[in-house]
Structure 1
């Protein structure tokens, strides 16, 4: 294990994080919003709420694990932009999108974005003990619980306008449906609340986290197929038959992280985590080259190898190994990392990771830095593996 740990640690500090550090915007704050496929930086690219939150989380967590001072300085820089520009001090919460100068461009408030704000601010608080950061995290938590939660159906809502009037969920719906409820948003609320609980454990947070795990068990996890359902109407009716392989294996370890954080011993939940991991690990989604396919809609397989899917799968299978001691999961980890190193990692001068590799083996010619692609998934994979292999 120590060879793998050393390799991953080296990759984090010499390849991933230096790429993103170079994007620090000294003039307008935050980080440049877009790096094109040809690795040219668009200094006038828009800056996303999810994006700056992921930068803040990544550099805060990197400092927590490695204690390298330069990461803490990057985290301070990200924090200033998040609370100074991305946070709406008039109507509260984080905007969806700003222009490159930091002026609001798309003022929707999405629960998904708010959850990343909590995730980032709580991580920053863990390493700085900055009480203001914890206050912002708690403010956003209270917004989600008071405005973004549907008590009748025990579900987290999705999209709102700037003043918190509910909107159709355009931002997080795909595949031709508009979903009132998404697994993705619930997963990232869970992840955010878990981190806030680690930063500042309260009885209320424990209760909300336990409720979220129960939602996954009762509403999202399909006990027959062992896959997670993806899109729902207001009453939790599934809207379309999708298997999102990356989200499933990511959910497996994030749910387990929540279970461990609050100290739950409910066997149903632990078995769900293990069942999801075996289901993906034994499925046709694991391809001959060791990679994990993206998704399946009805009978149609999408064989694109997406960067974040590989990163989350490595952590998910590592976690499953820790739960079961089944060597099968270590074999999957080795296969995924071998594939990722060779194909997903961008070996061009100044590159980071490609967005994805197409079914034909060629990199997708898509921006390698933009509001959805940040250091979060692959830096987190590195940090999780470093911590788990210690």
Structure 2
């Protein structure tokens, strides 16, 4: 029997999706958008409103609305109002990285701007009239400032007025740009965004991943020279850690197969290497990351020989392992992915899911006890909520469009 198609399991996935959505309601911030939640589910009022969190929460509540959760549509509107209002830079264009009563971090970051595209794409799929104009604006901003047509990759960040560019390139920002382009291509029926997505995944996976034994380099100079020692003195950085990030290998594995399917649905050619490469990325991440230090769980990072560096277990890594195993099983039918899928959920249920306070513990130590070395609190529903959807929806179109189609 196929676990992902079992009625009881699918019911549990839906219940977990709804439980998570309920937890996040407390993140609504009167300053606009969504705030940072603590372990107990209360909002940390000392932190600014982050663009990336507000957009992720807008995205997940669009998914919740499409899944029929009462009140979710109002939360999407709250998120859109912040994207349209206080988070938006009406003077120079684009969006602030964080705000309080005004900008706290006024840099323009590709990572966060990718989530503006994702959030507004999902809101379009959920039927919010104001979202399409915001989505088109976000794509215009991204095209004018972040997208590098020569390299086929996204630039990293700029000062508020776009006059000075950060001399750094990052694979993480490009990973979420890829995700955002796939979502926007679906709601706008725009093949040019699929072409960009294909260029990103080709360079990162088929060139960088394949050329580095499937351990993805993350950090580069402005001319795309690898910086393999980047942040060697800040190894547990939440966004730019030293070494290879296990969760990103898993995430790229999933995104590679989703890109392949999106291309085919659009009538475009998909390279033959994509399925093989997705499997190789997954195998390397699992081999390097899972239970390599005497306890279950995925370590956060490894060095370029596969030796663990940061041993804390991040909730998002297990969530991405679930998603990758689910799509690999659907793509290949190989039962080892179904066995892995069951194992990754068993780990989440035993260690990560916090039944008392809600949501998932965002970080555990090497003994699987709650930890706060890299992350404080529980600010992010995005990975966990999506992990409950990937097993139940097709590889493409994007989650919001798939849900809208299912319920239409």
TM-score interval w.r.t. the shorter chain?
0.7 to 0.9
> Which position in structure 1 is the counterpart of 2:401?
none
> Which position in structure 2 is the counterpart of 1:174?
none
User: What is the rounded CA distance, in whole Å, between the counterparts of 2:211 and 2:44 in structure 1?
Assistant: 46
TM alignment of 1:147-296, pairs within 5 A:
147-168=145-166, 180-223=168-211, 225-240=213-228, 242-263=243-264, 264-281=269-286, 283-287=287-291, 290-296=296-302
> Which position in structure 1 is the counterpart of 2:33?
30
- Assess if the C-alpha contact under 8 Å between 1:56 and 1:78 holds in 2: yes
- Assess if the C-alpha contact under 8 Å between 1:226 and 1:276 holds in 2: yes
* Most deviating of 321-330 and 105-114: 321-330
**Pairwise CA distance, 1:38:** 5.2
TM-score, normalised to structure 1's length?
0.88
SS at match of 1:291: coil
Q: Does 1:363 align with 2:370?
A: yes
- Assess if the C-alpha contact under 8 Å between 1:114 and 1:144 holds in 2: yes
Q: CA RMSD in A?
A: 2.2
Q: Does 1:353 align with 2:360?
A: yes
User: What is the rounded CA distance, in whole Å, between the counterparts of 1:42 and 1:244 in structure 2?
Assistant: 28
User: What is the rounded CA distance, in whole Å, between the counterparts of 2:335 and 2:50 in structure 1?
Assistant: 40
> Which position in structure 1 is the counterpart of 2:45?
43
Contiguous gaps of at least 5 residues in structure 2: 230-242, 396-405
Matched residues, number: 368
Relative to 1, partners in 2 of residues 1:292 and 1:138: Cα closer, same or farther, differing over 3 Å? same
> Which position in structure 1 is the counterpart of 2:69?
68
Q: Deviations over 1:140-186 (max 9, x none)?
A: 222222222334444311011111123436xxxxxxxxxx1111011
> Which position in structure 2 is the counterpart of 1:175?
none
SS at match of 1:128: coil
> Which position in structure 1 is the counterpart of 2:12?
7
Q: Deviating runs (4+, > 4 A) in structure 1?
A: none
User: What is the rounded CA distance, in whole Å, between the counterparts of 2:37 and 2:145 in structure 1?
Assistant: 35
User: What is the rounded CA distance, in whole Å, between the counterparts of 1:301 and 1:105 in structure 2?
Assistant: 32
**Pairwise CA distance, 1:74:** 1.4
Contiguous gaps of at least 5 residues in structure 1: 170-179
TM-score, normalised to structure 2's length?
0.84
User: What is the rounded CA distance, in whole Å, between the counterparts of 1:227 and 1:322 in structure 2?
Assistant: 24
- Assess if the C-alpha contact under 8 Å between 1:86 and 1:95 holds in 2: yes
